[in-house]
């Protein structure tokens, strides 16, 4: 499926089928209003109606703005993919909406059929986007094309992340993730360094090693770097890469183990961000650190009651082996700060079910000490179409991580505020001079979905990629 921005208005583009948008207000003035109303069409958000005679699919939108158009475009293209049309046309709806339209088409048309014996083939070969404004007049093409090309890169990187998240743990394990990173580095002119088990031992990364020691696949720490000349900023991105999480000896219930291939979504998101940043050519130095491990069960499993010495020297009492992601991140965060003096340090993890309890399944939880930084990333997320919610640190919850036999416990002593206490645990591994530069993103809710929503289809969503790239783009202005 090829996307092209046409320097032409919608009406003058030849195609087999077209996509049009109607609000409840514009429905009343539409040429086909009688026919649409007789079909029960009310122009509700994401409602569709096929007008076969005019070779058009009409899609309802709340308003002609990015969030509404992105979702509606994704819905429309999913409907058309079930038909036999080859060439489809759509309006850009103005320079402020071209990015949303493009993302809706790319993200909405994504399918994961890697393991199907007979994958379905999409009949659509070309999607032609008319470079026009909301009123149907020709817009400034070159300016719009810049937004279009950037949107393609970001949406494609998001789908790249989705593909990794959806791939089974039999195919993506720690070394396989390292090989994916090495391949990305070769294709995108990045540098990549991979630490194996022996090197992790030399670095004193005992918490990460403990998590992975029961698996036949030993842990890997992956460091990707994008270094343009004269960078404006230096950013470190850290991703939790649990290629599978059984819960360890604190075994998950059987139903909870299904979809645990998604526990690598944080690391996959960082790979997607590195892909997007390098292809956009942003004047920012970016480092991606991935902690890849598999939390399994055998006679060598780490145990509740173990005390682990982390890379930064702090000791951790293990009370639950299913709170393993924070142990991996503790060591990787320490390593990232050792290796790179960054202006900002962000980590991404499917860390807690408690974050979904607090914010719902659609929203990324943001934690950190800097109110300004949290505000800036939330604003970028809003512009990108991702949802975020802040969760506040406080001293009372911090006390719940106290251990009588070690420096800190890996879980809270009470079952409340679990997302925040997980973030506070990570705070113990952030250097003092980085406290105001660090943010923790709990993506457990939106990273994977079994019910399609917005422009997200079944499976991995690529949560965090669009938001973070938008923030990095803002740093360049």
Q: Which residues are part of the catalytic machinery?
A: 252, 326
C-alpha to C-alpha distance for 179 and 168, rounded to whole angstroms = 15
What span, in angstroms and rounded, lies between the C-alpha atoms of 387 and 361?
10
Task: Measure CA 136 to chain center.
Answer: 34
331: Cα within 13 Å, side-chain hemisphere:
34
Question: Is the separation of the CB atoms in 346 and 468 below 8 Å?
Answer: yes
Crossing angle for the helix pair 371-384 and 465-475, to the nearest 10 degrees: 110
Q: Which residue has the tokens 């998950």?
A: 252
CA–CA distance, 384 with 455 (Å, rounded to integer) = 12
Say if strands 17-22 and 87-91 run parallel, antiparallel, or are unpaired. parallel
The C-alpha atoms of residue 127 and residue 199 are separated, in whole angstroms, by: 49
**Cα dihedral 321, 326, 331, 336 in deg (nearest 10):** 160
Going by C-alpha positions, the residue among 222, 224, 238, 336 that lies closest to residue 285 is 224
Report the alpha-carbon angle 26-385-267, nearest 5. Answer: 155
Gap between the Cα atoms of 311 and 329, Å rounded? 11
Residues 21, 64 contacting (CB under 8 angstroms): yes
Phi and psi of 42, rounded to 5°?
A: -120, 5
Which residue from 163, 20, 178 is spatially nearest to 155, judged by alpha carbons?
163
Taking Cα atoms as reference points, which of 223, 266, 273 lies closest to residue 245?
266
- Residue written as token pair 């109606």: 49
Contacts of 32 (CB under 8 A, 6+ apart): 51, 54, 58
């Amino acid at each position: 499926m090829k996307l092209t921005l046409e320097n032409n208005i919608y009406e003058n583009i030849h195609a087999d089928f077209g996509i049009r948008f109607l609000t409840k207000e514009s429905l009343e003035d539409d040429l086909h209003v009688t026919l649409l109303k007789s079909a029960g069409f009310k122009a509700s958000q994401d409602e569709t109606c096929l007008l076969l005679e005019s070779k058009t699919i009409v899609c309802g939108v709340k308003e002609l703005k990015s969030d509404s158009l992105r979702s509606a475009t994704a819905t429309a293209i999913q409907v058309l993919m079930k038909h036999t049309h080859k060439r489809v046309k759509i309006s850009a709806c103005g320079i402020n909406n071209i990015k949303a339209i493009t993302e809706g088409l790319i993200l909405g048309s994504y399918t994961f059929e890697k393991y199907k014996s007979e994958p379905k083939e999409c009949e659509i070969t070309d999607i032609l986007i008319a470079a026009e404004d909301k009123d149907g007049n020709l817009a400034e093409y070159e300016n719009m094309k810049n937004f279009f090309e950037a949107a393609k890169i970001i949406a494609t990187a998001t789908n790249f992340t989705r593909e990794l998240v959806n791939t089974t743990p039999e195919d993506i394990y720690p070394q396989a993730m390292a090989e994916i990173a090495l391949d990305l580095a070769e294709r995108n002119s990045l540098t990549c360094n991979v630490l194996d088990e022996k090197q992790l031992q030399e670095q004193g990364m005992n918490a990460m090693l403990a998590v992975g020691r029961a698996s036949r696949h030993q842990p890997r720490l992956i460091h990707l770097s994008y270094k343009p000349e004269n960078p404006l900023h230096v950013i470190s991105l850290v991703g939790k890469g649990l290629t599978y999480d059984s819960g360890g000896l604190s075994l998950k219930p059987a139903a909870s183990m299904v979809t645990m291939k998604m526990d690598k979504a944080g690391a996959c998101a960082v790979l997607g961000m590195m892909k997007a940043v390098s292809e956009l050519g942003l004047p920012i130095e970016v480092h991606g650190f991935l902690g890849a491990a598999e939390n399994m069960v055998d006679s060598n499993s780490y145990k509740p009651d173990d005390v682990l010495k982390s890379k930064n020297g702090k000791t951790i009492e293990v009370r639950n082996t299913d709170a393993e992601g924070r142990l991996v991140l503790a060591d990787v965060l320490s390593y990232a700060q050792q290796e790179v003096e960054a202006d900002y340090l962000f980590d991404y993890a499917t860390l807690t079910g408690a974050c979904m309890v607090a914010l719902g399944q659609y929203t990324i939880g943001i934690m950190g000490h800097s109110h300004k930084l949290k505000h800036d990333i939330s604003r970028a997320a809003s512009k990108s179409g991702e949802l975020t919610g802040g969760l506040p640190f406080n001293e009372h919850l911090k006390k719940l991580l106290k251990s009588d036999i070690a420096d800190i416990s890996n879980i809270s002593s009470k079952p409340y505020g679990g997302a925040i206490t997980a973030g506070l645990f990570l705070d113990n591994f952030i250097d003092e001079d980085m406290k105001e530069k660090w943010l923790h993103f709990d993506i457990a809710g939106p990273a994977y979905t079994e019910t399609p929503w917005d422009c997200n289809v079944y499976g991995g969503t690529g949560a965090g990629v669009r938001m973070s790239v938008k923030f990095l783009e803002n740093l360049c202005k």
